[in-house]
Amino acid sequence: KAGVTQTPRYLIKTRGQQVTLSCSPISGHRSVSWYQQTPGQGLQFLFEYFSETQRNKGNFPGRFSGRQFSNSRSEMNVSTLELGDSALYLCASSLDGGETQYFGPGTRLLVL
Amino acid sequence: TQLLEQSPQFLSIQEGENLTVYCNSSSVFSSLQWYRQEPGEGPVLLVTVVTGGEVKKLKRLTFQFGDARKDSSLHITAAQPGDTGLYLCAGGALGANSKLTFGKGITLSVRP
Protein backbone atom coordinates (compact mmCIF):
# COMPACT_ATOMS: atom_id res chain seq x y z
CA LYS A 1 0.00 0.00 0.00
CA ALA A 2 1.34 3.40 -0.88
CA GLY A 3 1.83 5.79 2.00
CA VAL A 4 0.60 9.31 2.43
CA THR A 5 1.88 11.60 -0.31
CA GLN A 6 2.17 15.36 -0.22
CA THR A 7 2.89 17.81 -3.00
CA PRO A 8 4.83 19.88 -3.50
CA ARG A 9 7.67 18.94 -1.15
CA TYR A 10 9.20 22.41 -1.13
CA LEU A 11 7.74 25.82 -1.82
CA ILE A 12 9.03 29.39 -1.67
CA LYS A 13 6.53 32.24 -1.59
CA THR A 14 6.59 35.92 -0.73
CA ARG A 15 4.53 37.74 1.84
CA GLY A 16 0.97 38.42 0.77
CA GLN A 17 0.78 35.54 -1.68
CA GLN A 18 -1.40 32.50 -1.20
CA VAL A 19 -0.48 28.83 -1.40
CA THR A 20 -2.28 25.51 -1.86
CA LEU A 21 -0.85 22.26 -0.57
CA SER A 22 -2.09 18.82 -1.52
CA CYS A 23 -2.30 15.53 0.37
CA SER A 24 -3.27 12.07 -0.85
CA PRO A 25 -4.09 9.71 2.03
CA ILE A 26 -3.44 6.00 2.24
CA SER A 27 -5.93 4.13 0.08
CA GLY A 28 -9.08 3.45 2.08
CA HIS A 29 -8.40 6.11 4.70
CA ARG A 30 -11.19 8.64 4.99
CA SER A 31 -9.75 11.01 7.59
CA VAL A 32 -7.08 13.57 6.79
CA SER A 33 -5.55 15.87 9.38
CA TRP A 34 -3.21 18.78 8.81
CA TYR A 35 -0.46 19.99 11.14
CA GLN A 36 2.02 22.83 11.16
CA GLN A 37 5.47 22.10 12.55
CA THR A 38 7.92 24.82 13.57
CA PRO A 39 11.03 24.61 15.76
CA GLY A 40 9.54 26.90 18.38
CA GLN A 41 5.99 25.55 18.62
CA GLY A 42 6.40 21.94 17.59
CA LEU A 43 3.53 20.19 15.87
CA GLN A 44 0.26 22.06 16.00
CA PHE A 45 -3.08 20.77 14.80
CA LEU A 46 -4.72 22.78 12.01
CA PHE A 47 -7.85 20.83 11.07
CA GLU A 48 -9.24 17.42 10.25
CA TYR A 49 -11.49 16.37 7.42
CA PHE A 50 -13.61 13.26 7.34
CA SER A 51 -15.86 12.34 4.43
CA GLU A 52 -15.48 15.81 2.89
CA THR A 53 -16.52 17.60 6.12
CA GLN A 54 -14.33 19.53 8.51
CA ARG A 55 -14.72 17.71 11.80
CA ASN A 56 -12.12 19.35 14.03
CA LYS A 57 -10.32 22.66 13.92
CA GLY A 58 -7.30 23.98 15.76
CA ASN A 59 -6.54 27.53 16.85
CA PHE A 60 -5.35 29.05 13.61
CA PRO A 61 -6.61 32.20 11.89
CA GLY A 62 -9.12 32.06 9.06
CA ARG A 63 -6.32 32.52 6.53
CA PHE A 64 -5.80 28.77 6.91
CA SER A 65 -8.48 26.71 5.23
CA GLY A 66 -8.87 23.30 3.74
CA ARG A 67 -11.14 20.95 1.92
CA GLN A 68 -11.49 17.30 1.14
CA PHE A 69 -12.64 15.70 -2.07
CA SER A 70 -14.82 12.65 -2.61
CA ASN A 71 -11.72 10.49 -3.17
CA SER A 72 -10.44 11.60 0.29
CA ARG A 73 -7.63 13.71 -1.17
CA SER A 74 -7.28 16.95 0.72
CA GLU A 75 -5.93 20.41 0.07
CA MET A 76 -5.07 23.18 2.47
CA ASN A 77 -4.83 26.80 1.50
CA VAL A 78 -3.09 29.67 3.21
CA SER A 79 -3.96 33.16 2.03
CA THR A 80 -2.09 36.41 2.61
CA LEU A 81 1.08 34.64 3.64
CA GLU A 82 3.11 35.99 6.54
CA LEU A 83 6.75 35.35 7.41
CA GLY A 84 5.61 33.35 10.42
CA ASP A 85 3.84 30.86 8.17
CA SER A 86 7.20 29.40 7.21
CA ALA A 87 7.01 25.84 8.46
CA LEU A 88 6.77 22.18 7.61
CA TYR A 89 3.15 21.35 6.84
CA LEU A 90 2.28 17.74 7.51
CA CYS A 91 -0.79 15.80 6.65
CA ALA A 92 -1.77 12.54 8.28
CA SER A 93 -4.40 10.01 7.37
CA SER A 94 -6.30 7.48 9.39
CA LEU A 95 -8.86 4.86 8.53
CA ASP A 96 -11.93 6.33 10.14
CA GLY A 97 -10.79 9.18 12.31
CA GLY A 98 -9.06 7.04 14.89
CA GLU A 99 -6.12 8.31 16.83
CA THR A 100 -3.46 6.27 15.07
CA GLN A 101 -2.38 8.45 12.18
CA TYR A 102 0.12 7.98 9.39
CA PHE A 103 2.05 11.00 8.25
CA GLY A 104 3.24 12.12 4.87
CA PRO A 105 6.72 13.56 4.30
CA GLY A 106 5.48 17.13 4.55
CA THR A 107 5.66 20.29 2.48
CA ARG A 108 8.39 22.71 3.50
CA LEU A 109 7.07 26.25 2.99
CA LEU A 110 9.38 29.23 3.11
CA VAL A 111 7.84 32.69 3.07
CA LEU A 112 10.19 35.53 2.15
CA THR B 1 -5.95 22.89 26.75
CA GLN B 2 -4.12 19.59 27.03
CA LEU B 3 -0.34 19.86 27.13
CA LEU B 4 2.30 17.19 26.79
CA GLU B 5 5.74 17.90 28.15
CA GLN B 6 8.65 15.84 26.97
CA SER B 7 11.96 15.52 28.73
CA PRO B 8 14.78 15.88 28.31
CA GLN B 9 14.58 18.21 25.33
CA PHE B 10 17.98 17.16 23.99
CA LEU B 11 20.04 14.04 24.61
CA SER B 12 23.41 13.08 23.20
CA ILE B 13 24.77 9.66 24.12
CA GLN B 14 27.36 7.14 23.03
CA GLU B 15 26.44 4.04 21.05
CA GLY B 16 25.64 1.15 23.37
CA GLU B 17 24.24 3.23 26.22
CA ASN B 18 20.73 2.87 27.61
CA LEU B 19 18.34 5.79 27.97
CA THR B 20 14.86 6.66 29.15
CA VAL B 21 12.83 9.66 28.04
CA TYR B 22 9.50 10.90 29.31
CA CYS B 23 6.21 12.34 28.19
CA ASN B 24 4.09 13.90 30.94
CA SER B 25 0.75 15.64 31.23
CA SER B 26 -1.78 16.66 33.83
CA SER B 27 -4.53 15.47 31.49
CA VAL B 28 -5.85 11.99 30.86
CA PHE B 29 -5.53 10.66 27.32
CA SER B 30 -7.48 7.92 25.63
CA SER B 31 -4.30 6.74 23.95
CA LEU B 32 -0.73 7.78 23.48
CA GLN B 33 1.47 7.43 20.44
CA TRP B 34 5.21 7.66 20.00
CA TYR B 35 6.69 8.78 16.69
CA ARG B 36 10.23 9.16 15.39
CA GLN B 37 10.96 11.88 12.87
CA GLU B 38 14.12 12.27 10.81
CA PRO B 39 15.17 15.57 9.24
CA GLY B 40 13.10 16.52 6.21
CA GLU B 41 10.61 13.73 6.74
CA GLY B 42 7.27 13.25 8.46
CA PRO B 43 6.90 11.48 11.79
CA VAL B 44 6.79 7.68 11.62
CA LEU B 45 4.53 5.91 14.09
CA LEU B 46 6.40 3.61 16.47
CA VAL B 47 3.69 2.47 18.87
CA THR B 48 0.22 3.20 20.21
CA VAL B 49 -0.63 2.44 23.83
CA VAL B 50 -4.20 2.56 25.05
CA THR B 51 -4.44 0.81 28.42
CA GLY B 52 -3.15 2.28 31.67
CA GLY B 53 -0.01 0.42 32.73
CA GLU B 54 0.46 -1.09 29.29
CA VAL B 55 4.00 -2.01 28.23
CA LYS B 56 4.93 -2.58 24.61
CA LYS B 57 8.27 -3.65 23.19
CA LEU B 58 9.59 -2.95 19.74
CA LYS B 59 13.00 -4.61 19.43
CA ARG B 60 15.25 -2.52 21.70
CA LEU B 61 12.54 0.04 22.47
CA THR B 62 10.21 -0.36 25.45
CA PHE B 63 7.17 1.89 25.82
CA GLN B 64 5.07 2.23 28.95
CA PHE B 65 1.78 4.04 29.47
CA GLY B 66 1.23 5.32 32.99
CA ASP B 67 -1.44 3.74 35.16
CA ALA B 68 -3.48 6.94 35.13
CA ARG B 69 -2.99 7.40 31.36
CA LYS B 70 -1.37 10.79 31.89
CA ASP B 71 2.22 9.94 31.11
CA SER B 72 4.47 7.61 29.18
CA SER B 73 8.09 6.61 28.98
CA LEU B 74 10.34 5.28 26.24
CA HIS B 75 13.38 3.21 27.14
CA ILE B 76 16.01 2.36 24.55
CA THR B 77 18.47 -0.42 25.28
CA ALA B 78 21.93 -0.35 23.70
CA ALA B 79 21.26 2.70 21.55
CA GLN B 80 22.56 2.73 17.99
CA PRO B 81 23.29 5.62 15.60
CA GLY B 82 20.17 4.61 13.66
CA ASP B 83 18.09 5.59 16.69
CA THR B 84 19.05 9.23 16.13
CA GLY B 85 16.06 11.46 15.50
CA LEU B 86 13.27 13.51 17.02
CA TYR B 87 11.00 11.47 19.27
CA LEU B 88 7.48 12.83 19.57
CA CYS B 89 4.72 11.71 21.86
CA ALA B 90 1.11 12.48 21.01
CA GLY B 91 -2.00 12.07 23.09
CA GLY B 92 -5.46 11.31 21.83
CA ALA B 93 -8.06 13.50 23.50
CA LEU B 94 -11.01 11.78 25.10
CA GLY B 95 -14.01 12.05 22.83
CA ALA B 96 -12.26 14.01 20.08
CA ASN B 97 -11.54 11.97 17.00
CA SER B 98 -8.21 12.47 15.29
CA LYS B 99 -7.23 15.53 17.30
CA LEU B 100 -3.82 14.66 18.61
CA THR B 101 -1.90 16.83 21.03
CA PHE B 102 1.83 16.62 20.43
CA GLY B 103 4.73 17.26 22.73
CA LYS B 104 7.59 19.36 21.36
CA GLY B 105 9.79 16.32 21.05
CA ILE B 106 13.09 14.97 22.26
CA THR B 107 16.10 15.31 19.98
CA LEU B 108 18.26 12.22 20.40
CA SER B 109 21.76 11.95 18.99
CA VAL B 110 23.61 8.64 19.26
CA ARG B 111 27.32 8.96 18.57
CA PRO B 112 29.16 6.01 17.01
Residue B35 sits at the chain A interface (C-beta within 8 Å): yes
Element (H, E) at B92: strand B85-92
Residue in chain A closest to B102 (alpha carbons) equals A43
Contacts of B42 in chain A (CB under 8 A): 4, 6, 90, 92, 103-106
Distance, CA of A42 to CA of B103 (rounded, Å): 7
User: What's the rounded Cα separation, in Å, for the pair A57 and A46?
Assistant: 6
Q: How many CA atoms lie within 13 A of A93 on its CB side?
A: 24
Closest chain A CA to residue B45: A102
Contacts with B12 (C-beta within 8 Å, 6 or more apart), sequence order: B108, B109, B111
Average pLDDT over residues A39-64: 92
Query: Which has the closest alpha carbon to B101: B11, B49, B31, B40?
Result: B31
Task: Give the pLDDT of residue A101.
Answer: 86
The 10 Å Cβ neighbour count of residue A39 is 9
> B94 CB near a chain A CB, below 8 Å?
no
List, for residues A83-112, the tens digit of each pLDDT value: 999 999 999 998 876 667 899 999 999 999
Whether B44 and chain A come into contact, CB under 8 Å, resolves to: yes
Instruction: Report the distance separating Cα A44 and Cα B68, nearest Å.
Output: 25
d(CA B104, CA B32) in angstroms, rounded, equals: 14
pLDDT at residue B65 greater than cutoff 60:
yes
More confident residue, B19 or A1: B19
